Amino acid sequence: MNKLVAIEPKSFVEYEAAVVAGGGVVTQMSSEVRALIWTDYHAPHQLAELLIANPQLEWVQLPFAGVDAFADIIATNASGTSSTPHSKLTFTSAKGCYREPVAEHALALTLALCRALPERILEKKWGRQFAVSLYESRVLIFGGGGITEELLTLLAPFKTHVAVVRKHGGLSMPGATETLGFDRLDEQLALADVVILAAALTPETTGLFDARRFALMKDTAYLVNIARGPMVDTAALEHALKGGIIAGAGIDVTDPEPLPDSHSLWSAPNLIVTPHSADTRPMVVRLFSKRIHENVTAFLAGEQLVGQVDAQLGY
């Protein structure tokens, strides 16, 4: 059996070790390679060119849970067009890999907002006595993937009422008080004390949180975004914060990203911006290595790969 696996465009010692541990052999890209570990989220054009030049490839492992940057490539190769003759090409993402640190970050942002830490960290006097307890509050999580599964576990001790709004509303999630479809989002926004975005970025979710949806939220509610920046209309978020339409926001992702130093959003009150650090490079390398090992082992054994991407759903 051909065990050759290429790691492009940049390799890491940890990834190479994971391939070897899974039974593979790391090599340069050639016509003999059937499996590819792709490591650069910001270079989809390079991946597209490589796929055209290597029609023998059967499996591509992408580096992050979100595959929005590769949506066109995935759709094109799934369609079986003449320019990309990959009749059996499977894409896997890293969905589920980083669930623990990202869920941890979402909880940290939530607690920081509830305890007014953005205000207190900057304050140089005693100031007002204010805090909101997360215990027995209502939390709305938008998205039903691995991060949400982990968040439900972390939120359990707080005895929160958690409504999960997801694409497949009929599939209940253990730990959620209720699991609902996208069509129930607006009504749930009006009830939530905390809204956490943890869904994939697709055409359906791009710009979903706009001025109209912020207006549906309670003026005491907080928004936490650890998904993708373009899911939120940045101008609408700024207006909602400065106008007191919502109480605050904690965002690990922005649109644009990185958020320019001169951007007016920085002046919004009750805002925490972290620089896409829910999962840092050391975390990513360690956790992605585990996924590589797992999938190389499965690929060579002819078994089901973890994190397969659905071209129609976009994740």
Of 100, 119, 178, 257, which residue is the catalytic one? 257
**Residue 102, SS3 per DSSP:** helix
What number of other Cβ atoms are within 10 A of residue 170's Cβ?
A: 8
Of 161, 239, 263, 276, which residue is the catalytic one? 276
Residues 6 or more apart whose CB falls under 8 angstroms from that of 302 comprise: none
**276 carries an active-site annotation:** yes
Angle at which helix 71-79 crosses helix 44-53, to 10 degrees, equals 20
Angle at CA 237, nearest 5°, toward 179 and 117? 85
**257 carries an active-site annotation:** yes
CA distance 216 to 185: 10
What number of other Cβ atoms are within 10 A of residue 171's Cβ?
A: 11
**168 carries an active-site annotation:** no
Of 34, 105, 213, 228, which residue is the catalytic one? 228
Q: How far is CA 143 from CA 128, 176, 200, 307, in A?
A: 35, 12, 7, 16
Q: Any idea which residues carry the catalytic annotation?
A: 228, 257, 276
